[in-house]
Homo-oligomer: A and B are copies of this chain.
Amino acid sequence: MDDILEKLHRAEITLDEARSEVAKRLLGSLEHNIDPGRELRTGIPEVILSEGKTLEQIFDISSEFLRRSGRAIISRITPEDASVLERRIGPEVIVRREDDARILVLRRLDMPPSKEKNGRIAILTAGTSDIPAAEEARIIAEELGCETLAFHDVGAAGIHRLVEPLKRIREFDPDVIIVAAGREGALPTIVSGLTEAPVIGLPVSTGYGIHPKGETALFAMLQSCSPLLVVNIDAGIVAGMVASRIARRRGKSKG
């Protein structure tokens, strides 16, 4: 803020101009510290969780996001709602829709997808039912400019299936590995014991009986004998976003 003071001191600006400029900055003072425009600048968009919102609210927020940043990512959306949104959102928007992962990505035609590759993320799933959560993570990572490599159905009940994927992942040299697993959630523990890269455990809400909704997998990952980072159950979005943070920073460092 010295510049304003100096300009005023040197009479390069009027008192009113100084006042106005200071007011503008002060209004933004807290914001300045906490970086309100970060999402836009870093390209890491907020994701719109459709659960608990009406279709109308989703449409309004998506439109606002498209207007402000050129892109809107909507998670946990039903195919029905996705269809309605697709129809309403207009022709000037490119749509990426993945019904299994329940994700809808909207991108303004005038906003070209990022060319740069920002890092590499490997993804593993223990079983077929874990794929949707893993796909959430993969799509977010790709939208954030990361390269991904995924292998499915290599769970702990038959660990020989891990050998080949792990070899290929080692060659891929990922910045971080996301491992999705439900039931007893043992796969991330095993993978973390076999690699040097940081591993994010993504518990999935599969299972039955006691703690059937992924709680067991979550607890097991938190208790793991191998060092693991964990996200909430079915939090593919979160895994994808933080993995991208990790990968992008390393990517930039290398650049």
Contacts and interface: CB of A to CB of B under 8 A. Distances in A.
A228 B238 contact: yes
Interface size class of A (residues with CB under 8 A): 35 or more
A196 interface: yes
Nearest to A6: B15
Interface in A157-198: 157-160, 163-164, 166-167, 175-176, 182-186, 189-190, 192-198
Given A209-B232, A232-B223, A163 B30 contact: yes
Contacts of A194: 33-35, 159
A193 to B, nearest CB: 4
B234 A231 contact: no
A245 interface: yes
A209 B222 contact: yes
B219 A211 contact: yes
Interface string A93-135: 0000000000000000000000000000000001111000000
A146 interface: no
A190 B159 contact: yes
Given A210-B232, A234-B208, A61 B128 contact: yes
Contacts of A68: none
Contacts of A158: 34, 36, 193
A160 B223 contact: no
Give the most central of A166, A189, A209: most B CB within 10 Å.
Answer: A209
B156 A225 contact: yes
Given A33-B167, A128-B61, A193 B232 contact: no
18 contacts: A1-B26, A2-B19, A29-B29, A30-B30, A30-B33, A34-B166, A36-B158, A51-B208, A156-B193, A156-B225, A196-B249, A210-B219, A216-B222, A217-B223, A222-B230, A223-B232, A250-B253, A253-B253
Q: Top 6 closest A-B pairs, CB basis?
A: A209-B233, A52-B129, A186-B186, A209-B232, A157-B225, A229-B229
